[in-house]
Homo-oligomer: A and B are copies of this chain.
Amino acid sequence: MKNYIKHDPWSVIEEGWHPEENKITESLMSLGNGRMGQRGNFEEQFSGNTLLGNYVAGVYYPDKTRVGWWKNGYPEYFAKVLNACHWIGIHIKIGEEEVDLNQAKSITEFRRVLNMQDGTLFRTCHVTLKSGKQLKLESLRFCSMADDESGAIKYSITPLNFDEIIRFTVFIDADVKNEDSNYDEKFWDGIHQEAQGNSGFVTVSTKKTEFQVCTGFDFVFHQNGEETKVEVEPVVKEKYAGLLFNFDAKRNNTYTLYKYAVNLSSLNYKKENLLNETKKYLKTISGKGFSLMLREQQQLWAQKWSTSDITIEGDISAQQGIRFNIFQLNQTYTGKDARLNIGPKGFTGEKYGGSTYWDTEAYCIPFYLATAPQKVARQLLYYRYNQLDKAIENAQKLGFIKGAALYPMVTMNGEECHNEWEITFEEIHRNGAIAYAIYNYTQYTSDYSYLAEAGAEVVFGIARFWAQRVNWSNEKNKYVMLGVTGPNEYENNVNNNWYTNYLAAWCLNFGLEVIQYLKNNTPEDYLRISKKIKLEEISETEQWQHIASNMYLPFDAHSELILQQEGYLDKEQILVKDLPESQRPLNQKWSWDRILRSCFIKQADVLQGIYFFEEDFDLDTIERNFRFYEERTVHESSLSPCVHSILAAKIGDFNKAYEMYLRTSRLDLDDYNNDTEDGCHITSMAGTWLSIVQGFAGMRIVNGKMHFSPHLPSQWQQYSFKITFHDTLLTFTIHSGKTEIHNQSEKVIRLCINQMDYEIQANSTLLV
């Protein structure tokens, strides 16, 4: 756990230079705009502890996997988000001395600030070089939300105690390597590079996948705020384009470079036009200029905050924590492109390959549903719809037939990337989360058009998978599901994981409901779809019905507990509180077999099911199972505490709810798990948001109606959050003892607070 980041409501601030934490700071100060992103690296040369990272969404490389013993069915590759062209580079040489913070004699007045309100990264410092020369550096940059294939930098240097020729090298460099390359390869081939005038361009192509990305830049040089022409010497080498110039600098004058950069990829442009399009795009943004671009950036971020902000009064660290999470989610995914998704590290690092996990459906979609235009969540659903064919192929590889779909555990383009059999082949509950997200979307938005358009096919493919994945047990006179891994990955290859069985039965019922909905509402769509997918109505639906009604759900009659899986009570029942601190985290201290046979739970499993299907359980059942499983859960996944926090709030245990909330709210800012240097835990950030909105404020959608049961944590004076529901922006402010709800729309809105119905008139505030 680290504590060097300064607490502030709107910014993430490093004050004073912390070179040993630089990789953490770089992760925290990452910028993105949904289309491209980068870590908080320095523009100038830096020989210290750093992980250079620039990422272009949707561009990946199928890295050859490493496995111990090959299992039939494993994918050949692991798709990886690519560390792409380093476009921020500005190298500075004072006389013969390279400016490099790692080589400097001293650094004072260092300040690096991620401004979350504007989506900008600012840095300033005074550097004393080994020669004794002193200078001031200042930079401000952003990835433009308005022009989301570009970024801009304002970079200034002021000699403080010398006159000297300064050599500037403004460049882009695509000769980069992924830190997580399995066989130490570079993933990019050079295609083209050029530099002339004040601009340069590099086009590179990924090996195997042959994505092309063209990066272009130009710059303007200012002396004390006045544009100044300079004589530029181009330097071109493979995957690199640079522009050099010397300037006779005088003390206390400020020299500023405005650098504009564009990253266009062949995902969005024809390869043959890529260079010209990049030139055109570059002209447009540099035509706008830095100030206008910055204004647009501020406007767009203001707009995002206007629908997604949460304020917390009385706890500045909590305020910073929740805003950081919302900021990261908003800059990782904008919903503009259905081919993109939310990697576990977003644009902040390479770990986990930058691919899509079930995190998106289980944790992130509720956030975007409530805080962003409806289209954003819809795009995430479309991502899976567009990959349905691949999911069907994936299921076929595993022996399933007739259009059964198994979505991959980890994917970039719909193909499975993961290769641990117990996950790849067996952690199949992910399939259910994808159907659940469709349900969630229709519940929240009351927009059923998505079903006929796309969702129904996904739901049916998933239902077919479950129908084939179970088998009838004569022993149990029930359907059983053998050999699965539930959300609790500290169990592998178990039989009858309750969560998976329950979710599978639910999916089958949901499939039947969707059929009924279509038949009743858009029968022509039903005909079209059932023909397309060759749905054998009677035989298939009867089978779905039979399975859903006869699914084996492990339960202990004596204790009245839901059992995580068959045989769970055979385990030695030790509680987490009795586990010595020296043994934790288990995944670093215990061998895998010991973890597997212990009763300890990595992340919510039965409780994940209770969370998803809360209405199916009475409060006693929820509490009984919560108490039992919470005592056995080690929360060694960042996705776990939020579910516990929400359920703890549900049963009124707000101390526990707050304790669980704290586990993730500042996970990255405080480097709680010692791994922020690899990147931030983007998807679990949605969980923190859920802990507040669904946990403390108790938001639920039941039968299309919004319910709340607000609670103010005693550590806070008040908090407020914004929700868009049925196109209506609502602002909730929870004070001690009262809740204020402001309806910012022209519509009357109905909701339910603490089980009482209320109406809020247009443009007015309700006090409860």
- A interface residues, Cβ below 8 angstroms from B: 65-69, 71-73, 397-399, 419-422, 425-426, 471-476, 480, 482-483, 492-495, 566-567, 569-572, 587-594, 596-597
Contacts and interface: CB of A to CB of B under 8 A. Distances in A.
B587 A72 contact: yes
Given A66-B66, A66-B68, A495 B567 contact: yes
Given A67-B67, A475-B570, A592-B421, A482 B597 contact: yes
A558 to B, nearest CB: 9
Given A67-B67, A67-B68, A594 B399 contact: yes
Contacts of A421: 592-593
A471 B422 CA distance: 24
A599 to B, nearest CB: 10
Nearest to A397: B591
B590 A399 contact: yes
A165 B474 CA distance: 82
A425 B593 CA distance: 6
Given A72-B588, A482-B567, 17 more contacts: A65-B68, A66-B66, A66-B67, A71-B591, A72-B587, A72-B592, A73-B590, A73-B591, A73-B592, A398-B593, A399-B591, A421-B592, A425-B594, A471-B571, A475-B569, A476-B570, A483-B596
Contact of A570 (B72, B495, B592, B596): B495
Given A492-B493, A570-B473, A590 B72 contact: yes
A426 B495 contact: no
A552 to B, nearest CB: 9
A425 B598 CA distance: 14
Contact of A493 (B399, B570, B596): B596
Nearest to A469: B597
B569 A566 contact: no
Given A493-B492, A570-B473, A588-B72, A593 B483 contact: yes
A476 B567 CA distance: 10
Given A471-B571, A566-B567, A594-B399, A589 B72 contact: yes
A419 B67 CA distance: 10
A425 B419 CA distance: 19
A474 B72 contact: no
Contacts of A597: 471, 482-483
Given A482-B571, A493-B493, A572-B471, A593 B69 contact: no
A300 to B, nearest CB: 39
B419 A591 contact: no
A587 B476 CA distance: 29
A712 to B, nearest CB: 42
A225 to B, nearest CB: 54
A666 to B, nearest CB: 27
A560 to B, nearest CB: 15
Nearest to A567: B495
A476 B556 CA distance: 13
A425 B492 CA distance: 13
Nearest to A572: B471
A71 B472 CA distance: 34
A174 B426 CA distance: 46
Contacts of A471: 570-572, 597
Contacts of A420: 68-69
Closest 6 CB pairs of A and B: A73-B591, A425-B593, A483-B597, A482-B597, A71-B592, A473-B570
B67 A398 contact: no
A397 B473 CA distance: 39
Contacts of A480: 570
A472 B571 CA distance: 8
A482 B570 contact: yes
B68 A419 contact: yes
Contacts of A473: 569-570
Best-surrounded residue of A68, A397, A475 (most CB of chain B within 10 A):
A68
Contacts of A570: 471, 473, 475-476, 480, 482, 495
A267 B480 CA distance: 56
11 contacts: A66-B68, A68-B68, A71-B591, A72-B592, A73-B591, A73-B592, A471-B572, A482-B570, A495-B570, A566-B567, A567-B567
Contacts of A71: 591-592
B591 A72 contact: yes
Best-surrounded residue of A426, A493, A594 (most CB of chain B within 10 A):
A493
A288 B594 CA distance: 59
Nearest to A428: B593
Contacts of A66: 66-68
A485 to B, nearest CB: 10
A572 to B, nearest CB: 4
A609 to B, nearest CB: 21
A305 B587 CA distance: 54
Contacts of A476: 570
A65 to B, nearest CB: 7
Given A471-B571, A471-B572, A493-B493, A591 B398 contact: yes
Contacts of A72: 587-592
Nearest to A595: B72
A73 B595 CA distance: 11
A590 B399 CA distance: 7
A569 B494 CA distance: 15
Nearest to A425: B593
A36 B482 CA distance: 47
Contact of A398 (B397, B566, B572, B594): B594
Contacts of A483: 593, 596-597
Contacts of A495: 567, 570
A474 B596 CA distance: 19
Nearest to A184: B183
B569 A474 contact: yes
A67 B597 CA distance: 22
Contacts of A587: 72
Contacts of A567: 482, 495, 566-567
A392 to B, nearest CB: 15
A587 B594 CA distance: 28
Nearest to A476: B570
Contacts of A425: 591-594
